[in-house]
Amino acid sequence: MNSSSLAVGIDVGGSSIKCALVDITSGGFASERYAVPTPAQESTASLLDALGTLVAKIPGEHPIGLTFPCVIRGGFLRSAANINKAWIGQPLAKLAAKRLGRPVIALNDGDAAGLAEVRYGAARDVKGTVLVLTLGTGIGSALFIDGHLVPNTELGHLQVQGREAEHRASGRARVEDRLSWDSWAAQLTLVLQEMHALLWPELIVLCGGITEDPEEFMGKLRCEARLCVGAMRAEAGIVGAALATTLSDP
């Protein structure tokens, strides 16, 4: 467990790997933010090399929190929806620690974004059930009950009227299906309503790059739960990854 106030957060998404030194006290960045494209379908060694290149930009001994767009249990990857399936079963935390020469905690990218929003952002001090969704290459989900994370919920793969949630309403689906903002908001509404019917959350927080344009779609969404855009926007994953180094059980 990290007792210093600085840690490196690395957020491996389906399309880019982002990284920064984070001040855990405030949730702000203590270095520049660095990014490279994710070699998502390349070998596990290529991805570890990409991590090495990024971390070399942040000298020091700071511990590392590392997200992956996968189910992660006990440091092992258990699924790989949007990256090379060769990752399944790999001891990610151990491999990354060896390659980077520093202690590494690994967790799901959606869970990391959620941890950041609950500690510093839009879900701070919210009691009851809170759902944080990241809308990027896939849809990541983080479920909290009174601030406690239920990890690896993977709601992006929920079937919504015969089609996976993330195939309907991820950021990638909007671009690949050439959806107008209205059509995409209608798809996201279907997804939110299905998730709401399952969990009845007090609040749903939307994060990810697409939330840089909230005026394009927030007013078009319909859901019984309170909806808001994440305060940490697309950086929630980096901050939550760093924060995870301070938690005994992220």
Q: Output the smallest distance, CB 11 to ligand BGC, in A.
A: 10
Residue closer to ligand BGC by CB (options 6, 66) is: 66
Contact 237, 116 (CB under 8 A): yes
Comparing every residue's Cβ against ligand BGC, the nearest one is: 138
Give, as ranges, the residues between 53 and 92 that touch ligand BGC (CB under 6 A).
69-71, 79, 81-82
**Which of 109, 121, 185, 210 lies at the binding interface for ligand BGC (CB under 6 A)?**
109
- Cα dihedral 13/96/4/206 (nearest 10): 10
Establish if 250 lies at the interface with ligand BGC (CB under 6 A): no
**Which of 138, 230, 240, 250 lies at the binding interface for ligand BGC (CB under 6 A)?**
138
Establish if 192 lies at the interface with ligand BGC (CB under 6 A): no
| Interacting span for ligand BGC (CB under 6 A) from 30-38, 90-98, 136-144, 213-221 | 136-144
Contacts by residues 48-55 (CB-CB < 8 Å, ≥ 24 positions apart):
48/95, 48/96, 48/99, 49/99, 50/17, 51/10, 51/12, 51/17, 51/96, 51/99, 51/100, 52/99, 52/100, 54/10, 54/17, 54/19, 55/8, 55/10, 55/19, 55/100, 55/102
Residues that bind ligand BGC (CB under 6 A): 13-14, 69-71, 79, 81-82, 108-110, 134, 136-140, 154, 156, 166
